[in-house]
Structure 1
Amino acid sequence: MNAVDDLRAEHEGILRMLGIMRVMAERIGHGRKIPAGHVESVIDFLRLFADQCHHGKEEDIFFPELERAGIPHEGGPIGVMLYEHTLGREHIRAMVEASARLGDIGGEGYQDLRAAMLDYSGLLTRHIAKENEVLFPLAEKVLSPGAIEALHERFEQLERERIGSGVHEAFHRLLDELAAEYRA
């Protein structure tokens, strides 16, 4: 597996979680509570896997390598991706704040959680499409196969340092458990 394949594979897991979140938001919209533990698990996944691990690989390793290969930061796809990562973090913060105020299903906590989940899901779905359809093919044109392969080793090291060994696999088990509950 090379670095671009690694990022694409991680996108599949993130998209799966976004589907779970949409089902959760739909249930909230129909007046059904979501167990607090499920909300915490979603937020942990987004913070650790999607942001610290996946976005960390992009921001700290992949994007700088693309810049060195001539892809501009400003006015180009890298700047857009970084801006959207920032927006995503704001939506995660909104989910954290709303989850601290969960109570009655008709209350503001659940409604704010629902809105933040839908906003994040929409943003990341579009974001992933841009990376998969525009940025990754561009990277495969400007980076040599050897360079892409070497980035994969750096990705593995970042993952070990940021989230630890076995956590990636644990998040995939979490996705399976939540998908069974939320049919995503």
Structure 2
Amino acid sequence: MVSVEDLVNNLMNDHDVIKVSVSIVDKMLAEKLLDPSDINMLLDFYEFFVDKCHHVKEEVILFPSINIKLYPFENSPVNVMVMDHGIFRYLIRLNRELLSRLINGDQSIKDTLMDYLALMTGHLNQHMEKEDKVLFPQAMDLDNVESSRSIEDIEAEVDHDKWLQVIEKLKVKYLSID
């Protein structure tokens, strides 16, 4: 049994970290600072912290209870969120491919990579806004959710704290006041 209030607070804390990552990418794009190592690190963050941790907490712990107790999956906010998660996974893969081509010398792909990084972060911002303003407030109608998984074991699987440190390091590099 997981407290919905604790779960939503945890997910909102993740959103705070994800929003910092988006600000980092926005700064990189605005200043055309495309350090391949840092972009790769951010794509790893999006794959592991966002998709394999944050999305798993939603898809395994929160969403099933919403579908069982509040409304069915079809045509629901959960349906939209799950589709958004799939789009995000695709955008990670696409950006990895574009980054690989850039690293291998294809300079003509640089603007395309920048466009798709911006698309990915824009998608993330829109997705988080839908959760913050629609889904999470609705979820608060539930007191508890049942799940075979816990927040802690999902976070342990991807070394959650490591990714917090990665974003903190990139925040210092890109967002500190000069």
TM-score under structure 2 length normalisation:
0.87
Q: Which residue of 2 aligns with 1:9?
A: 13
For 2:175 and 2:133, the matched residues in 1 are separated by 27
When the two chains are superposed, the root-mean-square deviation of aligned CA atoms in Å is 2.1
C-alpha displacement of 1:57: 1.0
Distance 1:118 1:129 in 2: 17
| Structure with bigger RCO (C-alpha 8 Å, 6+ apart) | 2
> Contact between 1:10 and 1:54, CA under 8 Å: does it hold in 2?
yes
Tell me the SS of whatever aligns to 2:75: coil
Instruction: Find the aligned partners of 2:67 and 2:120 in 1 and give their Cα distance.
Output: 27
SS at match of 1:71: coil
Equivalent residue in structure 2 for 1:154, among 137, 142, 150: 150
- Equivalent in the alignment of 2:174: 182
- Structure 2: any 5+ residue segments left out of the alignment? none
Amino acid at match of 2:48: L
Q: Contact 2:36/2:103 (CA < 8 Å) preserved in 1?
A: no
Q: Map of 1:4-153 to 2, 5 A cutoff? A: 4-28=8-32, 32=33, 34-103=34-103, 107-141=107-141, 143-144=142-143, 147=144
Q: What per-residue deviation string (whole Å, max 9, x for no partner) do you get for residues 39-62 of structure 1?
A: 111011000000000001111221
User: Residue 17 of structure 2: SS of its match in structure 1?
Assistant: helix
Gap regions ≥5 residues in structure 1: none
Q: TM-score, normalised by structure 1?
A: 0.85
Amino acid at match of 2:79: G
Q: Distance in 2 between matches of 1:159 and 1:109?
A: 35
Q: How much has 1:105 moved relative to structure 2?
A: 9.4
Report the Cα distance in structure 2 between the residues aligned to 1:48 and 1:134, rounded to whole angstroms: 25
Q: Contact conserved, 1:88 with 1:124, CA < 8 A, in 2? A: yes
Percent of paired sites with the same residue: 28
